[in-house]
Chains A and B, each alone.
Chain A
Amino acid sequence: MNNNKNSTLSVSQRLQSILAKNWAILFTLIIILIFSFTGKRFFQLANFQNILHLSTIYLLLTASETFVIITGGIDLSVGFVMGLSSVLSAKIIELLHAANFPPALSISIGSIVALIVCIIPGLINGVLITKYKVPPFIATLGMMGIANGMALIISEGFPVAYLPRVLPNIGNSYLIYILPGKAISFFSKPKGIAGEEIKELIRIIPNSLIFISIIIFILWHILKNTKFGQHTYAIGGSMDAAVRAGINTNKHLIIIYVLSSFLAGLAGVFYVFQTGIGIYTSFGAMYELLAIAGVVIGGASLMGGKGGIIGSVIGVFLLGVIENGLHLSGVDPFFRYIAVGLILIVAVIIDQSFPDLL
C-alpha cells in the first residue's frame, strides 16, 4: 500500500505537478481572459499581432539569454550590445545613404557589418570566462560598460536618424493586406486606397513575426534536437561531468557567448528596422534584466541545466501581454514594473516547491 503511494503519484498530485509545470502558459491564458473583459480592443487580431511585433526584440534577447543561463552563466551585456549594434548599423547606413548609395545596398552593408562586429563582445566574454575563469557576471558586466561607451561614442549621445525611409516600412509591414471584398495584396498596402478605406484594411502576419518565427525555430531545433543543445544542458547540469564526457567545454562556452552576442546584435539591427532610427541603450531600459526575467518565468534555473526556448517564449509573451493589457485597461503603466517583480517571485517559488518537475 505504502509502496504504491510512493511509486505512483496520486491523481491530485499529478494534476498539481501538471499545473505547476505549465503555470506560465495557464497564467497567460487567464490574464488574456481577464484583459478581454477589462481592456478596450484587447481581444483583437490586430492587438495580438501588435504584442508579438513589440516582443520581437525581447524574444531575441531572451533566446540569447536562454542558452547562456542553461550553461549556468549569465550575460549582462546583451542590452548594451544591442544598443551598439543598433547605433553602428544605423551610422553605417546613414553614411552610405548620404553618399548616395542605393538604399538596399547601404542597408545590407550596415546590417551585416554590425552583425559581424557584435560577435566581438561575445568572443571576448567567452575567452574571459573560459580561459581566464572570470565569473560570467563580471566579464559581461565589464563588457556592458564597454559596449555602452562604444555605442555612445559612435552616436555621440544622439539618435542616428537620417536613414532611408524604406527601413521602417520593411520592419513594420505585414505579409498580407486584405480590403474586405475589394482587394488583397502582399507585403505592401493595396494601391490606391486612402481615407476611410485604410481603417477597414485588415493586416495579417507582420514581417517581424515571420522573421522571429524562423529564428526561434532554428534556436529551438538547435537546443532540443542537436548535439550542441545536449552539450549545452550537460555543461549546465554538471561542468565536471561534461568535461569527463569529453565535451570541449571551453570551446562550447565561447560559442554560446558569441551566439548570445550575435542575437543581441540581431536585435539591434531589428530595432533599426522597427523604428527607423539607431539609438544607444539607456541605463533605465534594463533589457538584459527583463530578458533574464523571461527566461526564469519560462522555467529555467540560474544554477543552469534547466530551461528551454519554448518556456522563454512563453515568459516573454506573458510579460508582453501584461504590459499591453494593463495599458489597454487604463491601468497606470507603472504597475507593470510591480507585476514583473511579483510574477518573477511567483515563478521561482513555484519552481522551488516542485523541484522534481524536470
Chain B
Amino acid sequence: MSNMVTQRNGIHRFFLQLGSKWAIIFLILGAILFSIISPGFLSFNGIQVILINSPFILLLALAETFVIITGGIDLSVGFVMGFASVVSAKLIALLVVMGMNDLFSIITGIVITLFIGIIPGFVNGILVARLKVPPFIATFSMLGITHGVSELLIKGVVAKNLPVLAGKIGNGSLIYIVPGKTVSFFIKPLIQRGGNLIEILPTVFVIPFIFILIFAFILKRTKFGQHTYAIGGNVDAAIRAGINVKNHLIKIYMLSSLFATIAGILYVLRYITGKADAGTGFLLDGIVAVVIGGASLYGGIGSVWKTIIGCFIILVLENGLRMLGFPTFYKYILVGIVLIFAVLVDKLFPELIHKEN
C-alpha cells in the first residue's frame, strides 16, 4: 500500500489534493463566477447579506454534523427551532407584561428557553440510545410533537408583542464605525440623518460563529469529539473501548437540540416574532450542507469546518441566484444537483476519503 502511494507521481497527487478540496474550490469558483456576473455580489453589502442569512443554516448544520458523525440523523431540529422561537417569544412577552425590565426579561426568557429546548433532544437521545428506536423514526416523532406543541402554544398564529429592544439586538452589528469619528461595539452610535455609518459583522452571525469555533475545537481536539467519531465508525468497537455509548448519544442529541434552540432564539431576535414553522426548510439545507461537506450518513466521517463550507456553498448559490434575479426555485434544483455531485465525487474517487482520515 505504501509502495503504491510513493509510486504515484506528482501530477496524480496534485489532482488528488485538488479533488479532496473540491468543496472549497467549488465555493471559491462559485463566488468568483457570481461576482463577475453580478458586480454587487462580492461587495461589502453583498457579503453582509450572506452573513446575515447564515446563522440558521449554520446552527442546524452544526447540530446535524454531530448527529451524522455518530451515524444518526436528527429530523427534529427544524421544528425544535420553531418550538424554541415560540417558547422564547412567549416567555419574553410574558415577562414584560409581568412588569420586568426589557433587557432583563429578554435574558431570562432566553436562559429558560435554552433549558426547555434541550428536552426534545434528551427524549430523542433516550429513544435512540436506550429504547433502540431508529434515529430517523425517533426524531421524526419528535418533529411531530414539537410542531404540535408549538402550534398549540401560539394557537396557530405567531407569537408577537416582543419589546423593541429584542429587534435591536437581533438586527444589530458587532462593530459600528462612523468614518473619521468613532468606533463602537454592539451599541449603535447616534448619528445625524443621512450620516455615514458602517456596520460590520451582524450580531446574528457573530453568536453562532462563536459556538462554531468552540464546537469545532471540541469535535477535533477533545475526548468528547474522539468518542463521537469512534461511535460513528464502529459502535461495537466503541463499546469495547469502554465508551459509554448510550450516555454519549444522549448528549449528542441534546447538543443537537441545543443548537436548534439557539437558532430559534436568534430567529426571534431577528424577526421579533416566534413561529412554529420558523425552521422549515433550514432542516434540509442543514443536512445537505453536512453531506456536501463530505460527511457520510453511515457515520464516522465529517467535520465542522467542512460543514461550514457546505453551508456557504448553499448560501452563495442562494444569494447569487437572487442577485441575478432568478426566483428561489432554481436554488432547490442547484442544491439538489450539488448534493448528488458531492456524493458521486466521494464514490468515484474513494481514495479521497481514505487519504484524509
Contact = CB atoms under 8 A, between A and B. Distances in A.
Contact of B339 (A138, A156, A302, A342): A138
Given A152-B329, A293-B140, A128 B133 contact: no
A345 B327 contact: no
B332 A149 contact: yes
Of B131, B140, B141, most buried by chain A (CB within 10 Å of CB) is B141
Contacts of A128: 340, 344
Interface in A317-340: 332, 334-340
A82 B20 CA distance: 36
Contacts of A144: 284, 336
Contact of B329 (A133, A157, A284): A157
B193 interface: no
Contacts of B277: 284
B297 A138 contact: yes
A175 interface: no
A5 B127 CA distance: 32
Given A141-B284, A142-B339, A284-B280, A149 B144 contact: no
Contacts of A132: 343-344, 347-348
B150 to A, nearest CB: 8
Contacts of A157: 327, 329
A341 B257 CA distance: 17
B336 A344 contact: no
Contacts of B328: 152
B217 interface: no
A337 B147 contact: yes
B134 A149 contact: no
A342 B332 CA distance: 32
Contacts of A116: none
A134 B102 CA distance: 51
A114 interface: no
Contacts of B156: 334
- For this complex, into which size category does the number of interface residues on chain A fall? 35 or more
A218 interface: no
B163 interface: no
B298 interface: yes
Nearest to A293: B140
A338 B136 CA distance: 16
Contacts of B280: 283-284
A329 to B, nearest CB: 16
A302 B134 CA distance: 8
Contacts of B210: none
Of B75, B298, B327, most buried by chain A (CB within 10 Å of CB) is B327
B331 interface: yes
A295 to B, nearest CB: 11
Interface in A154-179: 156-157
Interface string B277-316: 1001100100110010000011000000000000000000
B284 A352 contact: no
A348 B137 contact: yes
A68 interface: no
A74 to B, nearest CB: 8
Given A283-B280, A342-B141, A352 B332 contact: no
Of B136, B138, B155, B339, most buried by chain A (CB within 10 Å of CB) is B339
A96 interface: no
A138 B291 contact: yes
Contacts of A337: 144-145, 147-148, 151
B337 A142 contact: yes
Contacts of B298: 135
A296 B75 contact: no
B347 A134 contact: yes
A352 B140 contact: no
A148 B288 CA distance: 15
Interface string B136-174: 111011111101110110011000000000000000000
Interface residues of B, number: 49
B137 A149 contact: no
A134 B343 contact: yes
Contacts of A348: 133-134, 137-138
Nearest to B78: A283
Contacts of A153: 327, 329-330, 333
B355 interface: no
Contacts of B148: 334-339, 341
A342 B127 CA distance: 12
B335 interface: yes
A143 interface: yes
Contacts of A345: 127, 133, 137-138, 141
Given A284-B277, A352-B131, A146 B137 contact: no
Nearest to B145: A341
Of B145, B280, B281, B327, most buried by chain A (CB within 10 Å of CB) is B145
Given A289-B140, A344-B141, A344-B144, A141 B287 contact: yes
A135 B328 CA distance: 27
B135 to A, nearest CB: 10
B12 interface: no
Contacts of B347: 132-134
A141 B133 contact: no
A160 to B, nearest CB: 15
Contacts of A102: none
B132 interface: yes
A80 to B, nearest CB: 9
Interface string A293-306: 10010000011000
Nearest to A285: B280
Contact of A334 (B127, B143, B151): B151
Interface in B150-207: 151-152, 155-156
B152 A334 contact: yes
B281 A149 contact: no
29 contacts: A74-B136, A132-B348, A134-B343, A137-B297, A142-B339, A145-B288, A146-B332, A146-B333, A149-B329, A149-B331, A149-B334, A153-B330, A292-B140, A293-B140, A334-B151, A334-B152, A335-B148, A335-B152, A336-B148, A337-B148, A338-B148, A340-B141, A340-B144, A341-B141, A341-B143, A342-B141, A345-B138, A348-B137, A352-B132
Given A132-B348, A156-B327, A157-B329, 11 more contacts: A132-B343, A133-B347, A134-B347, A138-B297, A138-B340, A139-B343, A141-B288, A149-B333, A296-B137, A339-B148, A348-B133
